[in-house]
């Protein structure tokens, strides 16, 4: 039975809900150290930080069973990283010289000899091989065999009131394998035991917005409500649709034709095809063509209770409908993970890369950086690098809890957007006015003040912080080359010390659920029936598919040439009319922004009454959207010239 770290979806922030933070990982490679045992290669990061001497409860019984996954480094890990960089850098002679999936495997993948040698080592240690792919080998056996194979002892440790086993020292592999092993996962069994379930639960309980609404930003104001920031705040919009988002982000005539976008999440909504078709018809989006929306799914599903499988249905629905709304001619392939855990999400990402299913991959899941461990991080980075050499770019939500202090007590960035090989997508509050005219954006960060009982004041104005776009300075990764000269030193050195570090996000789009996207989904109603309904939603898990859709438009403008790993090109366009430079005070310093929102007390109907509140915009924890690059919106959001900036240069006529 396999154990691994759980992931959650990032940004399904509905109108009355607080944010959901999400899950995956980033960077890390096995490395040698002064403590390297003779004849062994250390697999760094395999001893978790919680496995301390103080928490040690003694050796794990030799007869206990373990199941682990041994990831393969391939034939040229350093060469893979080097080519991933050069092929993605617009200033490199290798730029855009992508490899096919077969060429990538032939040049950088594990050889048959390496797989055979690693397999022999594992079997000779007494472990049973239960599965083999071009990326990893899974094995099971007792603790004694695992200890023999990986050169460490497994001990029991207390953690958060529970006892788990983990390596007492960093695991290793024989040096005679010449670096064929990238890392090993599963030697610790925190946090939970896996369970198997080959069926999926019904959709989550219905959620609806109460209204009144604005049809565009500022269209509906109740003059009887109290003032805020020197005037009357408008009602929140019902939810932006494709036409408004396309206008805001400079879509022009481009539709994403000829481009495929992949979406990865856990599980799969049984109703996605009918929901997406109905939503498009009701909201003016283009009808799906035959075969335009496809799914690649696992044979069965696991950990459905632990992961809240039905909660992921809304994530897939949001991602699919947002991409189609922005890029109506782009093909969409949904690749579902068997669970919300690392190995299963990695399998979904590997399917995209191994089959080159798409050039653009939207991923609305993540985790806080404190939960990142180098063992699984190394496996994620390998996928990102392999994708880069094939011309595939990965876009990840930056998180929905701002600096994460309120949710974790520690100021930190989110993963896997912290990876130098991933594009981190931050979030904004967006104002689209009459006739789909872009008005302004501010960094997404919300404060909430309810209407007083007598209706004369906003109680505790502006109220406590509720949610906002994730961002910040990584404590784990150095500054990548493309951020040099763009990211201010005050952010790159925010953690102290003299080494500049990776800062996220890289780019941003609408995420605030108060200025969010209208989505349509089959949900479970109070009487137990399943019905289609629509509601407004936000979170950076909206921003990620919106940016993926905009990238599809840009790739079409590029005459279909793959953008690939986009960060070097994104930063190359910094400071140009390609971007809206987003700040906390788009209407001027000191001019506050807010909307009025009315929610059903029971999230469904008015039988239990409604709650009216004022939502202040542009107040993201301790993060600030400033002139230039910032850790809420990165280089900014796509402007009217963003898509056009990808047009090939015109040739001079002689």
- Chunked into runs of 10 residues, the chain (654 residues) has average pLDDT values of 50 42 31 62 87 96 96 96 97 97 97 97 98 97 97 94 94 96 90 49 92 97 97 97 97 98 97 98 97 96 93 96 98 96 93 98 91 82 97 97 93 92 98 98 98 97 97 94 98 96 98 97 96 97 98 96 97 97 93 96 96 97 97 98 89 52
- Strand extents, DSSP E, 451-557: 465-468, 472-478, 501-504, 507-510, 517-524, 530-538
* Separation between Cα atoms, residue 337 and residue 81, nearest integer Å: 26
Could you tell me the pTM of the whole model? 0.93
Looking at residue 4, its pLDDT comes to 37
SS3 for 387-435 is: HHHHCCEEEEECCCECCCHHHHCCCCCEECCCCCCCEEEEEEEEEECHH
Query: How big is the chain by its Cα radius of gyration, in Å?
Result: 25
Name the β-bridge partners of 38: none
Left if phi > 0, otherwise alpha if psi is -120 to 50, otherwise beta: which for 652?
beta
Name the β-bridge partners of 547: none
Of the candidates 196, 202, 330, 339, the residue with the CA atom closest to the CA atom of residue 259: 330
* Separation between Cα atoms, residue 398 and residue 620, nearest integer Å: 13
Of the candidates 511, 636, 517, the residue with the CA atom closest to the CA atom of residue 576: 636
User: 242-645, superfamily in CATH?
Assistant: Peptidase S8/S53 domain (3.40.50.200)
Q: Dihedral of the CA atoms 576, 579, 585, 587 (nearest 10)?
A: 90
Where along the chain do its domains lie? 242-645
First CA to last CA distance, the chain: 69
**Six-digit token string for 587:** 């209407």
At 136 the three-state DSSP class reads strand
Looking at residue 491, its pLDDT comes to 98
Of the candidates 416, 466, 475, 451, the residue with the CA atom closest to the CA atom of residue 596: 451
Looking at residue 378, its pLDDT comes to 85
Angle, CA of 250, 253 and 255, to the nearest 5°: 90
Looking at residue 583, its pLDDT comes to 97
Looking at residue 17, its pLDDT comes to 33
Phi then psi for residue 101, to 5 deg, are -60, -40
Query: Maximum Cα–Cα distance for the chain, whole Å?
Result: 80
Angle, CA of 200, 205 and 211, to the nearest 5°: 145
**Six-digit token string for 231:** 């005037």
Residue at token pair 């959650």: 8
Looking at residue 446, its pLDDT comes to 97
Of the candidates 241, 229, 247, the residue with the CA atom closest to the CA atom of residue 595: 229
């Amino acid at each position: 039975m396999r154990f691994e770290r759980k992931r959650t979806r990032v940004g399904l922030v509905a109108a009355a809900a607080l944010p959901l933070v999400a899950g995956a990982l980033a960077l890390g490679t096995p490395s040698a150290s002064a403590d390297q045992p003779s004849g062994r290669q250390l697999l760094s990061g395999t001893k978790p930080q919680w496995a301390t001497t103080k928490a040690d409860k003694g050796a794990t019984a030799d007869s206990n069973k373990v199941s682990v996954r041994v990831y393969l480094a391939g034939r040229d890990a350093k060469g893979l990283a080097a080519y991933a960089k050069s092929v993605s850098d617009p200033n490199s002679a290798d730029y855009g010289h992508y490899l096919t999936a077969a060429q990538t495997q032939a040049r950088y993948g594990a050889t048959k000899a390496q797989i055979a040698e690693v397999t022999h080592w594992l079997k000779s240690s007494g472990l049973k091989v239960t599965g083999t792919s071009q990326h990893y080998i899974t094995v099971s056996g007792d603790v004694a065999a695992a200890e023999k194979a990986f050169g460490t002892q497994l001990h029991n440790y207390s953690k958060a009131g529970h006892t788990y086993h983990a390596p007492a020292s960093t695991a290793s592999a024989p040096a005679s394998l010449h670096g064929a092993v990238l890392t090993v996962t599963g030697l610790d069994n925190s946090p939970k035991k896996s369970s198997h379930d080959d069926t999926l639960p019904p959709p989550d309980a219905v959620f609806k917005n109460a209204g009144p609404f604005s049809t565009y930003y500022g269209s509906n104001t109740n003059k009887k409500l109290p003032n805020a920031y020197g005037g009357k705040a408008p009602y929140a919009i019902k939810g932006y649709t494709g036409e408004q988002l396309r206008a805001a982000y400079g879509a022009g005539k481009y539709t994403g034709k000829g481009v495929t976008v992949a979406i990865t999440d856990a599980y799969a909504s049984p109703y996605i095809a009918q929901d997406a078709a109905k939503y498009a018809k009701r909201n003016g989006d283009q009808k799906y063509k035959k075969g335009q929306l496809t799914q690649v799914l696992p044979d069965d599903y696991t950990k459905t209770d632990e992961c809240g499988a039905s909660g992921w249905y809304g994530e897939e629905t949001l991602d699919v409908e947002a991409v189609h709304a922005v890029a109506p001619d782009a093909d969409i392939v949904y690749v579902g993970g068997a669970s919300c855990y690392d190995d299963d999400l990695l399998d979904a990402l590997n399917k995209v890369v191994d089959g080159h299913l798409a050039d653009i991959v939207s991923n609305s899941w993540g985790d806080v950086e404190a939960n990142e461990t180098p063992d699984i991080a190394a496996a994620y980075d390998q996928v990102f690098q392999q994708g880069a050499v094939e011309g595939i770019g990965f876009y990840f939500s930056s998180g929905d809890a701002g600096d994460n202090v309120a949710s974790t007590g520690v100021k930190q960035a989110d993963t896997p957007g912290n990876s130098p090989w991933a594009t981190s997508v931050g979030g904004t509050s967006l104002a689209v006015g009459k006739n789909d005219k872009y008005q302004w954006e501010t960094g997404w960060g919300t404060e909430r003040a309810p209407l007083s009982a007598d209706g004369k004041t906003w109680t505790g104005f502006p109220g406590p912080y509720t949610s906002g776009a994730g961002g910040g300075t990584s404590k784990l990764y150095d500054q990548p080359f493309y951020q040099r000269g763009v990211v201010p030193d005050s952010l790159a050195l925010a953690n102290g010390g003299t080494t500049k570090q990776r800062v996220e996000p890289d780019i941003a789009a609408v995420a605030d659920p108060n200025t969010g996207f209208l989505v349509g989904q089959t949900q479970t109603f109070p009487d137990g029936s399943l019905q289609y309904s629509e509601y407004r939603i936000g979170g950076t898990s909206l921003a990620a598919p919106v940016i993926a859709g905009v990238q599809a438009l840009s790739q079409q403008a590029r005459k279909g040439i793959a953008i690939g790993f986009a960060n070097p090109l994104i930063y190359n366009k910094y400071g140009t009319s390609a971007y809206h430079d987003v700040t906390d005070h788009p209407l001027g310093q000191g001019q506050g922004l807010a909307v009025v929102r009315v929610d059903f007390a029971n999230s469904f109907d008015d039988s239990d009454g409604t709650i009216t509140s004022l939502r202040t915009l542009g107040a993201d924890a301790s993060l600030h959207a400033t002139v230039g690059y910032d850790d809420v919106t990165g280089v900014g959001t796509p402007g009217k010239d963003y898509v056009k900036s990808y047009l090939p240069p015109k040739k001079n006529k002689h």
